[in-house]
């Protein structure tokens, strides 16, 4: 099997399993990424948050609207620049973050099943090398 096909199949399977684990815990991948970014990166505004999460501003706004309606976050205008919204976790958002973090840890544990620490380190190294092989810096112009 070509390496690209094997990698794609493994990524899809792992991604589906992670999405399922997050859904079972009451979340979704976009919600997890936003909560994780707010909890660990402390982006100051929606633009920084969109960049940290890797989604477009309009898509982020859609997710933030839903999360605000669910009581997971609050948004308030920056007193120094009224065009900027500051996003913060609520107590409910903190609780969901910890729940989803548990699901993420369990998913990681499941992924590691049957592998030794040396194998995990080798796999991580090989995946990093694959990513570098196809990064924008290494792909030559035709």
Closest CA to 28 of 112, 85, 89, 103: 103
Domains contained in the chain, CATH given: 7-133 (1.10.10.10)
pLDDT of 141 reads: 52
**Reported pTM:** 0.84
Average pLDDT score over the chain: 90
Contact call for residues 119 and 113 (beta carbons, < 8 A): no
pLDDT category of residue 122 using cuts at 50, 70 and 90: very high
Angle at 105 between CA 75 and CA 6, to 5 degrees: 105
Strands 81-89, 73-78: pairing kind: antiparallel
pLDDT of 50 reads: 87
Q: Distance between CA 71 and CA 79 in Å, rounded?
A: 22
Contact call for residues 73 and 12 (beta carbons, < 8 A): no
Give per-residue pLDDT as tens, 34-93. 999 999 876 667 888 888 888 887 888 899 999 999 999 998 887 777 777 788 899 999
Q: Distance between CA 26 and CA 13 in Å, rounded?
A: 20
Cα-trace Rg, the chain: 18
| C-alpha distance from residue 13 to each of 9, 30, 85, 105 (Å) | 6, 18, 36, 17
pLDDT of 53 reads: 87
pLDDT of 117 reads: 96
Residue that is written with structure tokens 């290494």 in the block:
138
Residue that is written with structure tokens 């112009």 in the block:
141
Q: Distance between CA 46 and CA 57 in Å, rounded?
A: 8
The lowest-confidence range among 35-39, 115-119, 137-141 is 137-141
pLDDT of 118 reads: 97
Higher pLDDT, 15 or 136: 15
């Amino acid at each position: 099997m070509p390496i690209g096909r094997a990698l794609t199949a493994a990524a899809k399977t792992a991604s589906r399993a992670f999405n399922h684990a997050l859904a079972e815990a009451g979340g979704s991948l976009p919600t997890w990424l936003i909560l994780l970014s707010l909890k660990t990166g402390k982006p100051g505004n929606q633009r920084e948050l969109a960049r940290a999460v890797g989604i477009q501003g309009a898509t982020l706004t859609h997710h933030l609207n839903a999360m605000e309606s669910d009581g997971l976050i609050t948004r308030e205008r920056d007193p120094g620049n009224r065009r900027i919204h500051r996003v913060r976790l609520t107590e409910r958002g903190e609780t969901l973050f910890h729940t989803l973090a548990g699901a993420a840890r369990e998913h990681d544990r499941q992924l590691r099943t049957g592998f030794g620490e040396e194998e995990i380190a080798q796999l991580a190294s090989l995946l990093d090398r694959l990513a570098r092989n196809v990064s924008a810096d290494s792909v030559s112009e035709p």
